[in-house]
Amino acid sequence: MSEKIDRRRARTKQLLYQALMSLLTEQGVEHLTVTDITNRADVNRGTFYLHYKDVPDMLEQIKDEVFESIRSEVIQLDFKQAMACADRNEPYPISVAIFEQFALHADFLKAMFGTKGDLSYAHRFRALMAANIYEKMRYNPPSDLAVPFDYLIAYMTSANFGMLMHWIESGMKQTPAQMGAFMTKIINFGPLVAFGLRELPSVSSSSKPH
Amino acid sequence: MSEKIDRRRARTKQLLYQALMSLLTEQGVEHLTVTDITNRADVNRGTFYLHYKDVPDMLEQIKDEVFESIRSEVIQLDFKQAMACADRNEPYPISVAIFEQFALHADFLKAMFGTKGDLSYAHRFRALMAANIYEKMRYNPPSDLAVPFDYLIAYMTSANFGMLMHWIESGMKQTPAQMGAFMTKIINFGPLVAFGLRELPSVSSSSKPH
DNA sequence: ATCATTAATCAACATCGTGTTTATTATGGA
DNA sequence: TCCATAATAAACACGATGTTGATTAATGAT
């Protein structure tokens, strides 16, 4: 009853979505016009305005949906669980689930993070990761840093996000499970150890909970 | 003789530049119109086209100049020198010079890398760093990686670039010398050691030259 | 199956920014 | 001074926008 969806609305909305996606993969996020979208969707131009305010509005809605689908996974991350998985040398399931969610929206994200992409969207994902890492650190607050804490956050979010982008841009040759394993290793042991350039260092006293 | 610069050309070009910069810091790189720029510069709209093809062309020229000024410093980086400085616990001069060059163009870069920024420009700088790191690695080629080499590159370029962006976005509270010190530490010892979360690990055999 | 409701279409409109052109004015360098 | 060139002003066609009103078509409920 409360769910009343007119087939016509759903149909044209899907046509517009498909048209947008094909244009997005072709020419990136710039120079997207209502005229182009509606022409490709074989829909009257005026009809577009029955669904969206303008092109940025349409993009915003899709961005929100994709972001939310990933955010809902990210907030389930548990630092201790991830560490336990890393010690047992197995991928952390929630981490894998996140990569699967990314794979699901690969085309869209590839366009949004590609050369002609949307920097504000990248910032949004980085902010999500930062909040998450900050949450992790609260369990084991660092002190006596050789480099300020906010730089630690910037470093880690950018590094992880960079690997994610590289995965998407290079055609997702690794499975989500593999990527999850990479990420877990690097987060817990640092890049040099994870990449096999150094042995695992002995755990220092400063990383022990009080 | 060969250097013949009409004062009028130089004057209007500077007026256009100043107008562009003030608009850039106000509203980011999007929705920059010729009309807005020439209005703010108090210059006839037609005059703009005597200097630039269109707005992207004007941006491109400035982007090229700034990029080149930084690239010319980056290519002077020497891996061994940087390591030597790190061991003596002093900032690597060329690294400091790079940060000074960034500081020189802070306003422009802040706009280009901000929320409404230009992702293609960010990619360009990351590609520069990637080429540089790749060059470094050639002296000490890694083998037996737990994670593929291209992910190592993606990780490192993104991490370093992320710190750089954070420095710019947070108002450049650290001096170029301090930032150079941060960077040198992290590149050589990894983030966990650099941030003081672990002790310096013993150097493994895999990181020794043959 | 009917019918009122809602969606989609079509055509027209004013608006805005673009890039170009022409004629005119002014400024600079020699 | 005087020539070359830069800047101005006004006009133009073009393309995309966002809106409107009238019309046709499809849908869901009864």
Q: Nearest Cβ partner of B154 from A123, A157, A163?
A: A163
Q: What does the pLDDT read at residue B83?
A: 77
In 3D space, the residue among B51, B195, B160, B198 whose CA is nearest the CA of residue A200 turns out to be B198
For residue range B43-98, what is the model confidence (pLDDT) as tens digits?
Answer: 999 999 999 999 999 999 999 999 999 999 999 988 778 778 877 878 889 989 99
Cβ under 8 Å to B: A residues 159-178: 159, 161-163, 165-167, 170
Mean pLDDT, to the nearest integer, of B105-119? 93
8 Å CB contact of A191 and B190: yes
Percent of residues, chain A, with pLDDT higher than 70: 82
What residue in A sits closest to B30 (Cα-Cα)?
A30
Report how far residue B60's alpha carbon sits from residue B108's, in angstroms, rounded to the nearest whole number.
12
* Closest nucleotide relative to residue A35's CA, C1' based: D16
Closest residue to C5 (CA, C1′): A6
**CB A160: neighbour CB atoms within 10 A?**
23
Whether the per-residue pLDDT at B207 is higher than 60: the answer is no
Q: What is the average pLDDT value for chain B, to the nearest integer?
A: 86
Residues A195 and B147 sit within 8 Å (Cβ to Cβ): yes
Specify whether the CB–CB gap between A121 and B116 falls below 8 A: no
Q: How many CB atoms lie within 10 A of CB B63?
A: 18
- CA B68 from centroid of its chain's CA atoms: 10
Res. A4 pLDDT band, cuts 50 70 90: low
Instruction: Please tell me the predicted confidence (pLDDT) of residue B143.
Output: 65
Domains in chain A, please, with CATH? 7-52 (1.10.10.60), 56-207 (1.10.357)
CA-to-CA distance for B165 and A22, rounded, in angstroms? 32
CA distance A129 to A74: 8
Strand D at less than 7 A from CB of A33: yes
Reported as a single tens digit per residue, the pLDDT across A139-180 is 666 666 778 888 988 998 999 899 999 999 999 999 999 998
Residue with tokens 């010079």: B97
pLDDT band at A1 (very low <50, low <70, confident <90, very high): very low
Beta carbons of A161 and A129 less than 8 angstroms apart? yes
Query: Is the Cβ–Cβ distance between A73 and A98 less than 8 Å?
Result: yes
Looking at residue B208, its amino acid is K
The mean pLDDT value of chain A amounts to 85
**Which has the closest alpha carbon to B76: B102, B96, B90, B91?**
B96
Q: Which of residues 32-91 of B touch strand D (CB under 7 A)?
A: 42-44, 46-47, 50-51
- pLDDT exceeds cutoff 70 at B139: no
Q: By the 8 A CB rule, do B84 and B78 touch?
A: no
Band of residue B208 on the pLDDT scale cut at 50, 70, 90:
very low
Q: What is the dihedral of CA B187, B184, B113, A98, to 10 degrees?
A: 30
Strand C and chain A: which residues 12-41 have CB closer than 7 Å? 12-13
Q: What is the pLDDT of residues A68-90, one digit of tens each?
A: 999 999 999 887 787 788 778 78
Asked if the model's pLDDT at residue B206 lies above 50, the reply is no
Task: List the single range of A1-15, A86-100, A191-205 with lowest mean pLDDT.
Answer: A191-205
Task: Calculate how close chain A gets to B205, using CA atoms only, in Å.
Answer: 8
Alpha helices per DSSP H over chain B: 7-27, 34-41, 45-48, 55-74, 79-87, 93-104, 106-113, 119-138, 149-169, 176-194
pLDDT of residue B2: 42
Residue with tokens 């700088």: B125
B142 touches chain A (CB under 8 A): yes
Interchain CB contacts (distance < 8 Å): A and B: 158
Question: Which residue matches tokens 């609305």?
Answer: A9
